[in-house]
Amino acid sequence: MQSSTCRRIAVLSLYTAVLALLPLGCPVNEPAPPIERDVSFAMEIQPIFTQECASCHSQGGFADNVGIPMRLVEGLTLDSTVNQASTQDATFTLIEPFDAANSLLFLKLSENAPPVGSTMPLFGEPLSSDELGLIRDWIDQGAMDN
Ligand code: HEC
């Protein structure tokens, strides 16, 4: 399900305290099957982060303000995520090269109940199947700076 009316909405949760306790998120999409070519970080992955994540995951952004220093801003993403421990739970690695299934960043995009915190993007529509597939493939190909 992916439509403009399907958003992981905070507004709704403001209506009643009961609603706020329910999992309001739209279900995540199924990642597309693996593709048989190299995925480019610069051309295909950072643009997703820039559009969907950087507003919060940047200096002075919402996540920064609640103590999450991870940056998903162009030029900062790789140093901030690849082989870096999660701030929320240091037993998790944000991006484990060649292993999307053990990369917390991917789990938070592709699972309705990720092992730590909320599904991302917080308050936004779930990423599309194609976007999820690309991010998984890029990580499984080694999370290269390419
Ligand atoms: C509206 C603000 C917002 C947006 C947009 C957002 N995030 Fe987050 N993110 C947060 C907050 C707040 C936390 C900490 C709480 C939580 O995980 O539920 C967080 C935590 C995370 C963490 C865990 C970091 C750590 O060190 O433990 C990851 C990974 C993450 N987000 C990835 C993403 C990705 C990828 C996107 C874009 C697809 C994204 N986020 C979009 C607000 C946001």
Sign of CA dihedral 83, 84, 88, 90: positive
**111-130 residue pLDDT tens:** 999 999 999 999 999 999 99
* pLDDT recorded at residue 47: 98
Whether residue 2 has pLDDT greater than 80 = no
Ligand 1 atom closest to Cα of residue 118: 18
Residue located via tokens 């690695």: 93
Of residues 15 and 51, which shows the higher confidence score? 51
Q: Is the pLDDT of residue 81 over 50?
A: yes
Structure tokens of 138?
């890029």
Residue nearest to atom 33 of ligand 1 (CA): 120
- Which tokens go with 11? 């507004």
Distance 62 CA to ligand 1 centre (A): 9
Report the Cα–Cα distance between both ends of the chain, in Å, rounded. 31
Q: What is the pLDDT of residue 26?
A: 86
Residues 122-145, buried b or exposed e (16+ Cβ, 10 A)?
A: bbbbbbeeebbbbbbbbbbbebbe
The pLDDT-based confidence of 15 (bands split at 50, 70, 90) is: very low
State the closest ligand 1 atom to the C-alpha of 88, by its place in the atom list counted from 1: 27
Nearest CA to ligand 1 atom 13: 63
Which pLDDT score is estimated for 45? 98
Residue 1 has pLDDT above 90, yes or no: no
pLDDT at 56 over 80: yes
- How far is 97 from 93, CA to CA, in rounded Å? 10
Q: State the average pLDDT over residues 62-76.
A: 98
Q: What is the reported pLDDT for 134?
A: 98
- Ligand 1 centroid vs 129 CA: distance in angstroms? 19
Ligand 1 atom, smallest distance to 92 CA: 27
In this prediction, residue 9 has a pLDDT band, given cuts at 50, 70 and 90, of: low
Q: What is the mean pLDDT of the chain?
A: 89
Residue 97, pLDDT above cutoff 50: yes
User: Greater confidence, 73 or 20?
Assistant: 73
Q: 134 CB less than 6 Å from ligand 1?
A: no
